[in-house]
Amino acid sequence: MHKTTVTVATVAAEAGVSTATVSRVLTGSKSVSAQTSARVLAAAEKLRYSGNSIAKALRQNSTGNIGMLVPSISNPFFTSLVEQVEHHLAQAGLNLFLCDSRNLVATEETRLRSLTQGSVDGILVSPVDENRSAAALQRASDIVPIVQIDRRVGAVDTDWVGLDDAHAMRLIAQHLADRGVRTVAFVTSIMGSSSALDRLQSARSSCAELGIAMPDDLVLDGDFSLEWGATAADGLLDSGRDLPDAIICSDDLIALGLSGRLAERGIRVPDDVRVTGFDDIEYASLNVPSLTTLRQPLTQIAAEAVRLLQENIQSADRAKTQLALRGELVVRKSTTRYGD
Amino acid sequence: MHKTTVTVATVAAEAGVSTATVSRVLTGSKSVSAQTSARVLAAAEKLRYSGNSIAKALRQNSTGNIGMLVPSISNPFFTSLVEQVEHHLAQAGLNLFLCDSRNLVATEETRLRSLTQGSVDGILVSPVDENRSAAALQRASDIVPIVQIDRRVGAVDTDWVGLDDAHAMRLIAQHLADRGVRTVAFVTSIMGSSSALDRLQSARSSCAELGIAMPDDLVLDGDFSLEWGATAADGLLDSGRDLPDAIICSDDLIALGLSGRLAERGIRVPDDVRVTGFDDIEYASLNVPSLTTLRQPLTQIAAEAVRLLQENIQSADRAKTQLALRGELVVRKSTTRYGD
DNA sequence: CTCAACAAGGTAATCGATTACATTTTTGAT
DNA sequence: ATCAAAAATGTAATCGATTACCTTGTTGAG
């Protein structure tokens, strides 16, 4: 199986030229005659030369791969984000090195440490916690170009691309107000991630403006998961209180988990209570009832993040950009009663 | 920002020792006095030395990272598999380099090519297509240790770890037979992946044994997605035929998409038709109705795959192992009528 | 007290590809 | 026909960490 390693030297010998020439042919630099070039290519082919990207990276001080660190790849929102990023990177001839911080600051730190050890030219990161991620992130950004994506740590001075949460929540609140909603519950993840924080704050102020009540005891926090959505549904039903007119969830997973549990317990969505999600993951449209949610401009977010990272890699000292892109409300059945 | 690079030489100068000594301290080789060691560590700390894993990899001919190539990271089954693998690799001090072949043989080939260029010590791959993936896989396995996981290309001689599909389908068929099912439809992905092939074949033979009818025109193929599940539901309902007693789906995504569409069109699961999934992704238990499915032994699969890969990396020429692990039937509401 | 064994640390080769610089050959303009 | 510019190719330095091999100094057994 594992034959003797084939290097440029092997190929050079076979083709009867120097290693420099082999390298020139293979990297496509100019100044190699057609015949020589052909001879080298033939030799490379014959020996099944496959290059050594490590050596190349060492010499050129650039690996052609980009690290991406997300809180949880099992969250479909991040999965889609990763897919988009991967797509844009591929177009730029870059490889993706994907890591999962498992929503743990400690794991995040470990990953950042290994990524900053030379294996990547730059990092896209969605930090776990607005505060507790700061130290590791700062350290990493002293070593390698970093762009924050989706979630962010404001205290670390890097580029950031993500959603305009304030605008997004305004769209949702406005939509609910239009349908006559007067009281809402808000189900979210425990404070810590910037997304959760921003969304709650924005929901509060938008609801206030529109005359929608959002009592403190109807703000429930757990995490971004189906499981928590279901638990929150139980919480609301078991509290003894009347259900609000609507339940705003800070992501689709929560909304789907919650909607499922409500159905099991005989509560009809949207007739008994309206429900909104956030992100527009694939399953949102296929759930029964289909979920009204806020679609994030994923393609654009990914494209901008990749672009900014490339700029960062090229020239270190640029003014940092903060890019808040606008989402789009997708109205579906979970907020639409017959006659609405 | 990007300061002058700190290398072992910088640290050596600061500490007043040679680069060899610095390296000895940092890698923990023996024969360094306590004082010297302390001095080196202090210097490294002071200069914020962070090492260069590229150089290290070049010298040691080993990177400490493992590539994993899956057909689609947006499929929750693969997401969970990746999580498990990541966990087991981390325990062995290895990093994960994750790639998505987007269900395309061409993308798969590109990724394999870049992975075999030195960036990883070994590869875990779930090949897109039983036949069309063979060439690229063979080529890659000539260069670097490979273990196939979940799906496989039989023609390429590598280790493989996955599910015992025959056993799994027998469990499902038996369960349905026990509940009085006499006819089934089978909704799957287009043939190509080994999983799809094996599952169909096993379903056919198990049903035959148990006296369950599975007419050819009730075998529908599309892909492993929610979308296709929904489309298949439409297909069954619009065919003009009576619904079968049960619908076996070759993965949970299909089952969930199908179950949702059935509900929308007023068909009740399990009362009008029973539905089974395959994989036991997280959402299977939270769907309404919760989904009867086959739970894959993911942790075990991941653990074995990692173990085999490590063995392969250590000693190239071993006899190859094929490991088919048994899954477990999880009975839920989608096959359970009142009184069953 | 002597010498083998060992500890501590230094020097320089090494991993494989790229590339600055040097050398030779070709080309084309006059 | 001549010479400068351009093309083709070679030689060797380089990227940064590791490590084989060597030198010097210590220790302890006999």
Using only C-alpha atoms, chain B has a radius of gyration, in whole angstroms, of 26
**pLDDT, tens digit, 9 for 90 and up, residues B75-130:** 999 999 999 999 999 889 898 888 999 999 999 999 999 888 888 999 999 999 99
User: Whole-prediction pTM value?
Assistant: 0.90
Q: Are residues A292 and A196 in the same domain?
A: yes
Same domain, A216 and A288: yes
User: A218 and A114 in one domain?
Assistant: no
Beta-carbon contacts of A110 under 8 Å, excluding residues fewer than 6 positions away, are: none
User: Which chain B residue is nearest to residue A51, measuring alpha carbons?
Assistant: B117
Taking the Cβ of residue A205 and every Cβ of chain B, the question of whether any pair is shorter than 8 Å is answered with no
For chain A positions 281-320, those within 8 Å of chain B (CB to CB) are 282-283, 286-288, 316-317
Q: Is the CB of B54 within 7 Å of strand C?
A: no
Say which DSSP state A163 is in. Answer: E
Whether residues B146 and B210 share a domain: the answer is: no
Q: Do A195 and A130 have their domain in common?
A: no
Q: Are A144 and A187 in a shared domain?
A: no
Is the minimum distance from the CB of B5 to strand D below 7 Å? yes
Q: Answer whether any strand D atom is within 7 A of the Cβ of B62.
A: no
Number of domains in chain A: 3
Asked if residue A152 and residue A127 are part of one domain, the reply reads yes
Q: Which residues, in sequence order, are bridge partners of residue A220?
A: A187
**Strand pairing report for B328-330 and B293-295:** antiparallel
Q: What is the DSSP code (8-state) at residue A119?
A: I
The predicted model gives A106-126 an average pLDDT of: 92
- Residue B1 included in any domain: no
Sign of the Cα torsion A7, A9, A11, A14 reads negative
Q: Is residue A258 part of a domain?
A: yes
Q: Quote the domain boundaries for residue B28.
A: 8-51
Residue B157: give its domain's CATH number.
Answer: 3.40.50.2300
Residue B56 falls within a domain, yes or no? Answer: no
Residue B3 inside a domain? The answer is no
Shared domain for A159 and A302, answered yes or no, is yes
* In a shared domain, residues A42 and A96: no
Report the alpha-carbon distance of residue A170 to residue A207 in Å, rounded: 8
Q: A18 and A70: one domain?
A: no
Nearest chain A Cα to B81, which residue? A74
The 10s digit of each residue's pLDDT in B77-90 is 999 999 999 999 98
Range B81-110 burial, b when 16+ CB lie within 10 A, else e: bbbbbbbbbbeeebbbbbbbbbbbbebbbb
Cβ-based neighbour number of residue B258 at 10 Å: 31
| pLDDT tens-place values along chain B, 340 residues long | 445 789 999 999 999 999 999 999 999 887 888 999 999 999 999 999 989 999 999 999 999 999 999 999 999 999 999 999 999 998 898 988 889 999 999 999 999 998 888 889 999 999 999 999 999 999 999 889 999 999 999 999 999 999 999 999 999 999 999 999 999 999 999 878 899 999 999 999 999 999 999 999 999 999 999 999 999 999 999 998 999 999 999 999 999 999 999 999 999 999 999 999 999 999 999 898 999 999 999 999 999 999 999 999 988 778 899 999 999 999 999 999 988 8
In a domain, B159, yes or no: yes
The reply to whether A205 and A219 lie within a common domain is yes
Tell me: do A245 and A270 sit in the same domain. Answer: yes
DSSP state letters, A232-243: HHHHHHHTSSPP
* A290: in domain: yes
Mutation target to probe the B interface, by most B beta carbons within 10 A, among A26, A48, A49, A54 is A54
